[in-house]
Amino acid sequence: MVNLRAENGRWVFPLDASETVVVSGPLGDTVIEIRDNSARVVSSPCVDQTCVVMGAVRLTGQWSACLPNRVMLYVSAGRNEDGVDATAW
């Protein structure tokens, strides 16, 4: 499961999805790509671009974040905090 969080909401995607997600933050839009059982920040309006350079996350517990834009991406096990698992998604 890929979990995305920002000030304006939270989104959950199966890791095997093929999605490009645009998440708005206080600096602008952060673009997340979910593909090939991994997720990564493709672009973000932050200055340092640490979130982009970090690359893809794919293992449970791995995360990436654009702290200046207040967007967090993390990989969770089969169930998210609401009890939804990949088969129920």
pLDDT in tens, 32-70: 999 999 999 999 999 999 999 999 999 999 999 999 999
Whole-prediction pTM = 0.81
Domain that holds residue 57: 2-75
Which residues, at least 6 apart from 11, have a Cβ–Cβ distance to it below 8 Å?
3, 4, 21, 23
pLDDT in tens, 1-28: 788 888 888 989 999 999 999 999 999 9
Question: Per the structure, how many domains does the chain have?
Answer: 1
CATH number of the domain at 17, please: 2.60.320.10
Question: Residue 40 and residue 51: Cα distance in Å, rounded?
Answer: 8
Q: Is 63 domain-assigned? A: yes
Question: Residue 69 and residue 44: Cα distance in Å, rounded?
Answer: 8
**By the 8 A CB rule, do 58 and 37 touch?**
yes
Q: Is 53 domain-assigned? A: yes
Question: Residue 5 and residue 9: Cα distance in Å, rounded?
Answer: 6
Q: In what order do the strands lie in the sheet with 38-43?
A: 19-25, 28-35, 38-43
Q: Is 80 domain-assigned? A: no
Looking at residue 85, the DSSP 8-state letter turns out to be B
